[in-house]
Amino acid sequence: MPPFTVNYTGDYLDESGRLAVPDIALDLYEDLPFIRQDYLRDQSPRPGDTGYWDRLYSLEITPAQVEQSDAIVIFRPWVRASAFAGSAERLTVIGRAGAGYDKIDLAACTENDVAVFNAPDTLTHATASSAFLLILALAKRLKEQEGLVRRGRWDLQAATMGVDLPGKVLGIVGLGASGRELARLAQPWGMQVIAFSPRARADDAAALGVRLVPTLAELLEASDFVSLHNRLDATTRAMIGASDFRRMKRSAYFVNVARGEIVREAELIEALQDGTIAGAGLDVFEHEPIPSDHPLTKLDNVILTPHWLPSTRDAARMTMVSVAEGIISASQGLVPDNVVNPDVLERPGFRAKLARFAANRNS
């Protein structure tokens, strides 16, 4: 049986070298002796290294790590073209533990005969329900209401009144999986749902009770709540800024559980500071992690979560099962599901890499 080494990135571990994430579905490998699972431990935190968490979202896969792996499972690190500066003769697949793969250089992976697969659907409900949680909390002014109790300011009850959702307009940017799920969640609350999504079909949207609008500007002007669910790519990076916030109602709220880089953050902060919009709920940021003294942390009309709100135990298990199943396929010489650089599948180099492990199917 040809051995198949899969290395999970070191940010799955804590300072003691134990798993920081409770369940990453390693039990699926237990009856497959040809799979050798380990971690890229030089990426893991060390005792006393307080700067690790500032570097967390800038970690990168290195050539040495590529050379020692048949597969790599990516949590947070980048896969840049520089990762392939050495030999990529072994590395066959990269599994992205989540839906987004904007931190992986797909062209470089394809050029080096490496297939990249993701887990596109496992976080759909978790992401959409996180957006809806932020919408409801903003509507009810939950953060401010709690603050009244903590400060003993019950006298400010009348000045801290929220709104209800029935009849309000929810504008969804990006009617992909999580955008559609958010529309489904909003329907029983009596919201009017509109969406801007250039690749969506009007009849598919109508079946969800969603009206497509032709421009982002129209969505922004009409919505009481705007929620981002679009993908980060060259066309969406920094797509929303000051002029967009000025189109929104002063009573409107902005929610982002997609990617922070879609928004020009300094211009969002200004819009929140001067009352251009009423508030925001943010799980993602332009540069992560944000420091404790970041301007956003000083604002009372913002709810902040650490790019972790959709990461429930249920969603994490589903994600890691999906990734482990992809690893098992590759370890048996089979193409994993959900390959996001499909051009690699026809390359002789990739096919030769994968064929090395076909014998494991008979074990």
Helix (H) or strand (E) holding 348: helix 348-355
111: pLDDT strictly greater than 90? yes
- Residue at 153: amino acid letter: R
What's the pLDDT score for residue 50? 86
Q: If pLDDT is split at 50, 70 and 90, which confidence band does 22 have? A: confident
Q: Would you kindly state where each structural domain of the chain is located, as residue ranges?
A: 4-122+312-362, 124-304
For residue 320, count CB atoms less than 10 angstroms from its CB and return exposed for 0-12, middle for 13-18, buried for 19 or more. buried
Structure tokens at 262: 């879609």
Sequence-ordered list of residues with C-beta below 8 angstroms from that of 152, at least 6 positions apart, any chain? none
**Cβ pair 75, 43 in contact under 8 A:** no
Name the β-bridge partners of 74. 96
What count of other Cβ atoms lies within 10 Å of the Cβ of residue 4?
26
> Looking at domain 4-122+312-362, which of 3.40.1360.10, 3.40.50.80, 3.40.109.10, 3.40.50.720 is its CATH number?
3.40.50.720
- Average pLDDT, integer, range 127-138: 98
User: Do the domains spanning 4-122+312-362 and 124-304 agree at the CATH topology level?
Assistant: yes
Average pLDDT over residues 220-229: 98
Q: Is the pLDDT of residue 1 over 80?
A: no
SS3 label, residue 106? helix
Average pLDDT over residues 173-196: 97
Maximum Cα–Cα distance across the chain? 73
Asked whether the predicted pLDDT for residue 21 surpasses 90, the reply is no
Residue 362 has pLDDT above 90, yes or no: no
Task: Report the percentage of the chain scoring pLDDT > 90.
Answer: 97
Q: Could you tell me the two tokens for 47?
A: 């005792």
Q: Which CATH number fits domain 124-304: 3.40.50.2300, 3.40.50.720, 3.40.50.300, 3.40.630.30?
A: 3.40.50.720
pLDDT reading at 73 higher than 90: yes
pLDDT at 162 over 90: yes
Q: Does the structure show a pLDDT above 90 at 8?
A: yes
Active-site residue numbers? Answer: 259, 288, 307
Show contacts of 46-51: CB within 8 Å, 24+ apart.
46/15, 47/15, 47/16, 49/15
pLDDT tens digit string along 261-305? 999 999 999 999 999 999 999 999 999 999 999 999 999 999 999
